[in-house]
């Protein structure tokens, strides 16, 4: 049987795109509901893909989630919840860190899911801090679309070609897509490591 902490506990589920983070978050939230825990989930207001009210994963599992823009607003919405899920945490402003600390201090079981790295392969938003604070971390993997090896990176493609390091995050024109890639096949043209400059 899976051991689950009762409260005052932070779990982080992370990994690249297509690694199943949201499925894992939804799985844990559903089990909390079966255990008759008051359960609530949140996601950033900007994530509007598929459904404004649901945490929706690529494979279609869902759990109703409240979209919020400011993490501090989350504290006003938790009411008597014992288990709090937070999806796409990398998109929240830095206040999310103190909000999560406050939730665990109040005895909540907090389950955070989010991308550890952006398409450049660099730490994403507050995820590194949340991972350091976590009582338990699950790092999930995907499969490299080039070689079939384990993938830990998110490849951004623009018109089918690897996006450059300095390409704008919001693209005007051009067709954008994402794939999971291993370290060998993750390509970011224009990226240089400081150590090896000059």
Instruction: Quote the least distance from Cβ 139 to Zn ion, whole Å.
Output: 18
Q: Does 146 bind Zn ion (CB under 5 A)?
A: yes
Residue 176 annotated among the catalytic residues of the structure:
no
Q: Does 144 bind Zn ion (CB under 5 A)?
A: yes
Find out whether 95 and 63 touch, Cβ atoms under 8 Å: no
Which residues, other chains included, contact 44 with Cβ-Cβ below 8 Å and sequence gap of 6+? Answer: 67, 68, 69, 88, 91, 92
Question: Binding residue for Zn ion (CB under 5 A) from 147, 189, 190, 191?
Answer: 147
Find out whether 100 and 112 touch, Cβ atoms under 8 Å: yes
Left, alpha or beta for 99 (phi > 0: left; psi -120 to 50: alpha)? alpha
Instruction: Closer to Zn ion by CB, 25 or 180: give it.
Output: 180
Interface map 88-127 toward Zn ion (x if CB under 5 A): ----------------------------------------
Neighbours of 57 (CB within 10 A): 21
Instruction: Quote the least distance from Cβ 188 to Zn ion, whole Å.
Output: 14
Question: Binding residue for Zn ion (CB under 5 A) from 58, 149, 157, 165?
Answer: 149
**Which residues inside 173-192 make contact with Zn ion, applying CB under 5 A?**
182, 185
Binding residues with Zn ion: total (CB under 5 A): 6
How far apart CA 58 and CA 136 sit, in angstroms, is 24
How far apart CA 179 and CA 192 sit, in angstroms, is 21
Instruction: Quote the least distance from Cβ 150 to Zn ion, whole Å.
Output: 9
Q: Which residue is catalytic, options 23, 24, 88, 179?
A: 88
Say which residue the tokens 């224009």 belong to: 190
Site residues (vs Zn ion, CB under 5 A): 144, 146-147, 149, 182, 185
Annotated catalytic sites, by residue? Answer: 88
């Amino acid at each position: 049987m899976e051991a689950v902490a009762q409260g005052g506990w932070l779990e982080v589920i992370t990994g690249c795109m297509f690694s199943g983070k949201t499925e894992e978050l939804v799985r844990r939230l559903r089990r909390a509901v079966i255990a008759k825990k008051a359960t609530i989930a949140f996601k950033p207001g900007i994530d509007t893909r598929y459904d404004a009210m649901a945490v929706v994963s690529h494979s279609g599992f869902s759990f109703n989630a409240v979209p919020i823009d400011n993490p501090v607003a989350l504290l006003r919405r938790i009411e008597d919840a014992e288990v709090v899920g937070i999806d796409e945490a990398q998109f929240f402003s830095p206040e999310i860190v103190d909000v999560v600390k406050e939730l665990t201090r109040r005895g909540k079981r907090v389950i955070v899911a989010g991308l550890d790295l952006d398409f450049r392969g660099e730490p994403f938003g507050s995820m590194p801090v949340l991972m350091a604070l976590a009582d338990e971390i699950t790092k999930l993997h995907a499969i490299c679309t080039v070689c079939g090896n384990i993938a830990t990176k998110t490849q951004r493609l623009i018109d089918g070609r690897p996006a450059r390091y300095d390409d704008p995050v919001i693209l005007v024109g051009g067709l954008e897509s994402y794939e999971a890639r291993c370290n060998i096949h993750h390509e970011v043209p224009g990226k240089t490591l400081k150590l090896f400059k000059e």
